[in-house]
Each structure stands twice: as structure tokens, then as C-alpha cells.
Amino acid sequence: MRNRHLILLLCCQCLATLPVAAQTIPAKLDSLLDAYAKVWDYTGSVLVSTKGAVLFEKGYGYKNKETRSLNDSNTIFQIGSITKQFTSAIILQLEEQKKLSLQDSLAKYIPDYPNGNKITIEQLLTHTAGVYNYTNDAVFMKNESMHPISRDSLIARFKYKPLDFTPGEKFNYSNSGYELLGYIIEKVTGESYFQAVRQRIFQPLHMDHSGFDFTDLHSPDKALGYAPQSTTPLPIVDSSVSFAAGAIYTTVGDLYKWDRALLSGKILSQASQQKAYTPHLNGYGYGWMLHIVDGKKVVEHGGGITGFVSYIKRIPEDETCIIILDNQPNSANTIKMAQDIADILSGKEVRLPKARVAVTLDTALLRQYVGEYQIGSNFIFTISLEDGHLYGQATGQGKMELFAEKKDLFFLKAVDGEVEFVRDADGKIEKLILHTGHDTPAKRL
């Protein structure tokens, strides 16, 4: 359910050549993922398929650190915003059945919704409705998101907030929009959103390990979510809070069934899928992010919810599907892993993550780096010094400790990337450069 602004920015560069040219593709994948597990402490399950065959399926790390139970292909994870493509599929099914139109206004289903006559279902699907994103309320998410909430109370959290912009004019990722889509599904079907997804998708596809109420799931395959380097499980966001924007839990195997059903047209007609895969503003379709890579359409989406991140990357033309589920969140590495896997499948050179060794710098030198560095008009990277440790914090994100490799060059342990400080002719710091697979300069303010 998280915004991927910094996630995309902080994908890795600090790499070592992959000496596996003679290996089979499954062996290359295993070498790559073993490196992510060892260097970046990746914990989760992965499935990779192409041309209709599963090439690789494996778990890494612990689903339960206390019992030291290992992740495997049967482990059940929360998937956050990957839920959105299931929500969009139900909406498209209802359109196929002529029970609604994507051009219907929100006011048709919630007559008293402010400006509801200006907002369409399609705008909710494409994050162009301008509806305030309720998960931006950090206090609510921290203190109340693990408790059940009524549908009306959930909608009230954003219903009376001013629109971020005139509907249709801009893109702004909004979980609230998908909560409203879930409400519309309930109004049209006369069923709960959860029942609708079970009956229309999970049951026909035999997605028998998928559901919604993760709090009350009692299964030996259930993963617990952890913060990096922590052994204390994180709290679970209640399914009534994440709802149609992010409530689903599942396995890599069940998500693969979803992929195959989409390819076969079992759930949606090809015409509906074409709509879902048509990019609108910011390359977003209906619950999918869309790109063209090497002349082929890539449909993908990530998910983040407390304790978990997920990613599904599909290349329908090749019947390629890459699924990565993670119960010790590191979203930047999850995206980079998916791209590395896709590159291996396409025969490109891929590099393994490399362990870095930190050195100690004098505190007086560390003070020289402290300040604000501007990347974009509304995006600042702040460097602070606390108890002898240097930290970087991007706008709207948490702090990440920076570790010195040498003077003026630091690396991150939270994600695979570098921060390089650049001096002017007088030796004063004038900017920094984020090395994240490409170079992003940030001028010192």
C-alpha cells in the first residue's frame, strides 16, 4: 500500500560481476537470490515461470524467527497493494455483466460523497480522482490500523478531505480510491467485498491458500512480518482497514494460478484485460503499472503493508511471471530482484550484490555533510548526525543510516545504494549524488 517514490529511487548499484555464465537459468537464479539473502538479508519466497513452466520456486530465511521455521513455497504472506488488481478485475467483471460502467460517477453509489458527481470509477482505478490517500495519516496507521473499523468509519477518514486536484487532471496514488471501489463492489453485488473476491476469483482458480483476515489466520504456513534485524513480529494491519486496497494474503503458488488465469482469459475477457493494461497518467492502468521493455509490454505491481512487501512482474507475450514475497520488508531490493530475474531470463548480464565494509570517520568530518540537499521541487534529502552516526532521510520517508566506505563516499545497508558527497574548488560540500543504478544529483541548500 505504500507509495514507491523513494523505493524506485534507491535501487542498487554496488555490485560484483556474476561469474555464472555456464550455469543453467535456475542455477543462475539460485545464485542471485542466495546473494540477496546473504548480503541484504532477503527473507521470503520466490516463484519464476516462463513459457508456461515454473523454472524456480524457493523460500529464504525465516517465516517465524522465534521457532526458526523456514520460508518455503507454501508460506503465506500479506501482499498489500497487489490486492488492487483483484479489485479492478471484479470491477471489470461487473462491467462485462453490464452491472456498472467505468464512466459511472461515484455519486451514483454514494450520493452524499462530496464532489462525487465529478469522480468516475475509471478515475478511481487509475489514481486520477484526486481523493486524499488515508494511509498518509501516519498517526492513524501507527495507532489504529491494527483494529477493526466499520466501512462507513473507514470512508469517513477521507470523505471530507479536500480533493488533491480536479479529477482527471493529475495522478496521485491513493489507497482511498480503491477502498471506494470495494464499497461500489459491495453495493452492486449485494455481497461483502471479501465474499465477491472469494466467489469470483479464489474459488474458481482454487486459490485455496488465499484470504483476507490475516490476524485470525491460524496456519503453520503463516509468515510473521519483521523489521530488518528485529526478532519481534510487527503488528498486523486489520483487513477492514486495508480492505480493497491491500487486504489479501496468499502464496507464490496461488499468485501463479492468478497469472495463468489471466493468460487464459478465465477471469477476464481479453478486451477487459486490454483496458486494464492500457496506461493512463504515470503509466498506470487498472491496478497495474505498465511499461514497454525491449519492445514487450511489462505489467507489474508492488505491495507494501506493515511487515511485508511483495512484487509481481509479468511479461504476457513470453508468459513470464516473477513473484517475490517478503516478510522482512526491503522494497527497493524487491524491485531490483525482480528486474535482475527478468534480465537473467532474457540472457542479459546480471551482477550479484556485494557486501560492503564500513570504516570510521572523525566526527568533525561527518559534521561537514550535515544539511539539506534538493533532488526535486518537493523532494529533499536531509543528512543529519546523531550520536556519531550519519543518517539520510528523504521527504516522507524514514531515516536510513549511512555507512562510510571512505571520505565522501557512504553506502546504505537498508538498501543497496551509495551516497557520494561532492566538494567545490574550496573543499566545501556543494552537492551529493545518489548512485542507484543511475546517478541522481542533489544540490546542497
Residue 79 CA to residue 408 CA, distance in Å, equals: 38
CA-CA distances (angstroms) from residue 441 to 266, 375, 422, 433, 434?
47, 7, 10, 4, 6
pLDDT score of 343 more than 60: yes
On average, the pLDDT of the chain sits at 91
Q: Could you give the residue ranges of the DSSP H alpha helices within 135-234?
A: 138-143, 151-159, 175-189, 193-197, 203-205
Q: Compute the distance between CA of residue 270 and CA of residue 254 in angstroms, rounded to an integer.
A: 21
Q: What DSSP element (H or E) covers 343?
A: helix 331-345
Looking at per-residue pLDDT, the higher value among 153 and 398 belongs to 153
Distance CA 70, CA 53 (A): 25
Give the containing element (helix H, strand E) for 224: none
- The identity of residue 398, as a single letter, is G
Give the pLDDT score at 394: 84
pLDDT at 193 over 60: yes
| Set of cell numbers at residue 32 | 542471485
Query: Mean pLDDT throughout 89-109?
Result: 98
Which residues, 6+ apart, have CB-to-CB distance to 136 below 8 Å? none
pTM: 0.82
Report residue 49 as a C-alpha cell.
515461470
Categorize the per-residue pLDDT at 331 as very low, low, confident or very high, splitting at 50, 70 and 90: low
Cβ neighbour number for residue 54 with a 10 Å cutoff? 15
User: Within 10 Å of residue 237's Cβ, how many Cβ atoms?
Assistant: 25
225-281, pLDDT tens digit by residue? Answer: 999 889 999 999 999 999 999 999 999 999 999 999 999 999 999 999 999 999 999
In the block, residue with C-alpha cell 545504494 = 417
Average pLDDT over every residue of 191-220? 98
Average pLDDT estimate for 285-297: 95
At 332, the pLDDT band (50, 70, 90 cuts) reads low
Amino acid sitting at position 106: L
The rounded distance, in Å, linking the Cα atoms of 255 and 207 is 8
The per-residue pLDDT for 279 is 96
User: How far is residue 179's CA from residue 182's CA, in Å, rounded to a whole number?
Assistant: 5
Which secondary-structure segment (H or E) carries 53? strand 53-60
pLDDT of residue 383: 96
Mean pLDDT of all residues in 317-340: 89
Question: Lowest mean pLDDT: which of 11-25, 128-142, 198-212, 231-245?
Answer: 11-25
Question: Which amino acid type is present at position 166?
Answer: T
Please say whether the beta carbons of 404 and 337 come within 8 A. Answer: no
Q: Is the pLDDT of residue 206 over 70?
A: yes
Torsion sign, CA atoms 266, 272, 273, 274:
positive
Contacts of 244 (CB under 8 A, 6+ apart): 83, 84, 87, 178, 179, 181, 182, 183, 185, 193
How does pLDDT run across 347-358, given as a tens digit for each residue?
998 888 877 788
* Pairwise CA distance, residues 171 & 389, whole Å: 37
Residue 155, pLDDT > 70, answer: yes
Convert the pLDDT of each residue in 23-79 to its tens digit. 799 999 999 999 999 888 899 999 999 998 999 999 999 999 999 999 999 999 999
